[in-house]
Amino acid sequence: MELLSGRATTRRIHKNTILLCQGDTPHHVSIVKSGCVKVYRVGPNGDEQIAGFKTAGDIFPECWVFGHSSNTMYYYESTEESDILTVSREAFLELLEKHPAQKDKYFNYMIKSYTGLMIQISALEQSYAVDKILMILYYMMVRHSIERKPGEFWVLMKLRQSTIAGLTGLTRETVTTEMGKLKRQGVVKYDMKSFVIYKNALKDKLGEEAFLEIQFSNVPV
């Protein structure tokens, strides 16, 4: 992020702050330095449909940043106290043009984002509750975690069971039951402060065909 020094501003955002509304015209690129931003739509009946999350190193709104849309498709709301760096789209795109290595990193970032989206779609296509949850855990491992020890992926956001329910369409009671089983089986470990996913145990549950070795990491500017 030091490459944007002097051209960007960092803001401390309180929990449950709406940064952009569905249909808004953005005025700058936002980059998450710390914390978490929920991305969602509101359906015709007023129901919230979670599309994903933004954690450290993520940018938004991508479609507007890269000129594919003049408005935002989603709501962006902080789920915890977060630090958000903002910079003009012109300055951000200029950075990518002047620094090819940074451009390559963001190309990898976009591939990772796309991979995460495909995993989310796959989760919704599963027939059984446990398989839906396993795919969401895989999504979290790929998109929103860091490997602190070999095979141990620590999720970068406060992952609650209500969040998993929102991503899978399952009831919170079903998620609680299935997550308890996965915890006892050594796939995950969690408490009020942390959430850890064990890659090898998750891989055994998903099977070789469903599990890809993703090497990308979030890349802050």
Distance CA 120, CA 21 (A): 22
At 213 the pLDDT is 57
pLDDT in tens, 18-57: 999 999 999 999 999 999 999 998 878 887 888 899 999 8
Going across the sheet that includes 29-34, the strands are 8-13, 82-87, 29-34, 59-60
pLDDT at 91 > cutoff 50: yes
Give the model's pLDDT for residue 98. 85
> Per-residue b/e over 64-81, b at no fewer than 16 CB within 10 Å?
bbbeeeeebbbbbbbbee
Cβ(116)–Cβ(143) under 8 Å? yes
Q: Which CATH architecture has domain 102-206?
A: Orthogonal Bundle (1.10)
CB-side exposure of 204: number of CA atoms within 13 Å?
10
Nearest to 17 by CA among 43, 46, 47, 38: 38
- 3-class state of residue 36 by DSSP: coil
Domain ranges of the chain: 2-98, 102-206
- Residues linked to residue 49 through DSSP beta bridges, in sequence order: 41
Which two tokens mark 145? Answer: 């975690």
Rg (C-alpha) for the chain, rounded Å, is: 18
For the entire predicted model, the pTM comes to 0.79
Peptide bond into 61 cis (omega under 30): yes
- Helix 129-143 to helix 199-206 angle (10° resolution) is 140
Looking from the CA of 160 toward its CB, the CA atoms found within 13 Å total: 9
Confidence of residue 4 (pLDDT cuts 50, 70, 90): low
Cα distances from 64 to residues 91, 111, 143, 156, in angstroms, run: 14, 17, 21, 25
More confidently predicted of 115 and 68 = 115
Determine what percent of the chain is predicted with pLDDT higher than 70. Answer: 93
Start-to-end CA span in the chain (Å): 4
Residue 172 is predicted with a pLDDT of 93
Listed range (165-174, 181-190, 209-218) with the worst mean pLDDT: 209-218
For domain 2-98, is the CATH number 2.60.120.10?
Answer: yes
- Answer with the residue of higher pLDDT: 1 or 79: 79
d(CA 58, CA 122): 22
